């Protein structure tokens, strides 16, 4: 609600938001790893999550910048897949690190990975916001030619707006849109519920696989392999469905009504409760441990399909509101 709207400003763009927030994310991982109390750990974990949020909040917008409307869903789907893979990959690696070196080692691993990503992003990832690219191009042309009449569309529109108007448009409008548009509020609440429930696997897996199946602590992360398998199982058929079915639904103007994506969202909404019921019902000593893992593999399928459907549904609602 803060960083992502700021990335829409032509004067800022997306990459400065990524660079600055990721840089502070890396710096804040140091005191997080060196925390001397639980309260200190929780405080720095909250702050690092706050400054590191653009990777999730703005990632979909960057994917939308790169692809044409008909091909945009491919980028959003791959981005959603990574959003589902990351929470599952962390425990697989982290459990072995904690067992050998302690919990601080996981923070240092994240520090190394985030540092490499920050450097790679700075040198190799270009700006994707079209309004920012056109703004910088117009600025270069004015400097090269001396013709101050050369302006981008965003600059022309901003001439009739005060600083207060711009701030309200960028920072306040997302909040008002969330509460004034019922479909936006419902989609936000529903996707928040689905994604928050996704993280409940972190609490349920120790109860089931340590308490019921008596696994060794360092092996607990391997239970998340089922979630990774679910991601890779759902991607091929869904991408094939997009290619064979959804692409043909676009009209001559390259637009697709968000309602056309509802069949996928309806299927995804069914997969989530089936996965939870399957996992909860089969988590008992008399049932083999692979059965609840198979049940958990259905949940990331629901997360990916719902994220893609919700993102395009929210985007369509925002476009109608803006127009």
Q: Between vectors from CA 146 to CA 140 and to CA 150, what angle results, nearest 5°?
A: 60
Q: 218: which DSSP letter? A: G
Spatial contact of 21 and 51, defined as CB atoms under 8 Å apart: yes
> Are 303 and 264 a contacting pair, CB within 8 Å?
no
Q: Where are the alpha helices (DSSP H) in 52-129?
A: 54-57, 59-66, 72-101, 104-124
| Maximum CA extent, the chain | 80
3-state secondary structure of 295: helix
Q: Helix and strand tally (H, E) in the chain?
A: 17, 0
Q: For the chain, 323 residues long, give each residue's pLDDT as a single digit of tens.
A: 677 777 878 888 888 888 899 999 999 999 999 998 989 999 999 999 888 888 777 887 888 888 887 888 888 888 888 888 888 888 888 888 887 888 888 889 889 989 999 899 888 888 888 888 888 898 898 888 888 888 888 778 777 777 677 677 777 777 777 787 787 788 788 888 888 888 888 889 999 999 999 998 888 888 999 999 999 999 999 999 988 888 888 877 777 777 777 888 888 889 999 999 999 999 999 999 999 999 999 999 998 888 887 776 555 555 454 44
SS3 assignment, position 204: helix
- Helix, coil or strand: residue 1: coil
Q: What is the pTM for the complete model shown?
A: 0.80
- CA–CA separation, 316 vs 319, rounded Å? 5
How far is CA 153 from each of CA 17, 50, 130, 156, rounded to the nearest angstrom?
Answer: 22, 32, 11, 5
Looking at residue 293, its pLDDT comes to 94
């Amino acid at each position: 609600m803060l960083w992502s709207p700021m990335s829409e400003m032509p004067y800022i763009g997306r990459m400065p938001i990524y660079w600055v927030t990721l840089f502070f994310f890396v710096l804040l991982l140091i005191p997080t790893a060196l925390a001397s109390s639980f309260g200190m750990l929780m405080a720095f974990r909250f702050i690092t999550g706050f400054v590191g949020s653009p990777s999730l909040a703005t990632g979909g917008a960057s994917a939308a910048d790169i692809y044409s409307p008909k091909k945009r869903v491919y980028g959003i789907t791959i981005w959603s897949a990574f959003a589902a893979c990351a929470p599952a990959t962390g425990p697989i690696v982290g459990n072995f690190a904690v067992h050998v070196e302690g919990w601080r080692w996981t923070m240092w691993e994240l520090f190394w990975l985030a540092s490499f990503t920050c450097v790679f992003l700075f040198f190799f990832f270009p700006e994707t916001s079209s309004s920012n690219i056109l703004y910088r191009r117009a600025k270069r042309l004015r400097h090269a030619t001396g013709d101050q009449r050369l302006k981008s569309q965003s600059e022309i529109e901003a001439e009739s707006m005060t600083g207060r108007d711009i701030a309200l448009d960028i920072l306040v409008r997302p909040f008002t849109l969330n509460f004034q548009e019922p479909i936006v509020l419902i989609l936000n609440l529903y996707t928040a519920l689905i994604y928050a429930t996704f993280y409940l696997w972190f609490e349920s897996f120790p109860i089931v696989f340590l308490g019921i199946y008596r696994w060794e602590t360092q092996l607990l992360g391997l239970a998340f392999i089922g979630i990774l398998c679910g991601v890779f199982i759902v991607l091929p058929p869904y991408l094939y469905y997009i290619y064979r079915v959804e692409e043909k639904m676009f009209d001559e103007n390259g637009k697709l009504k968000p309602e056309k994506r509802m069949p996928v969202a309806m299927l995804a909404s069914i997969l989530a409760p089936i996965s939870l019921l399957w996992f909860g019902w089969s988590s008992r000593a008399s049932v083999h441990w692979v059965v609840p893992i198979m049940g958990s593999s259905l949940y990331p399928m629901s997360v990916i399909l719902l994220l893609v459907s919700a993102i395009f549904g929210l985007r369509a609602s925002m476009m109608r509101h803006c127009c």
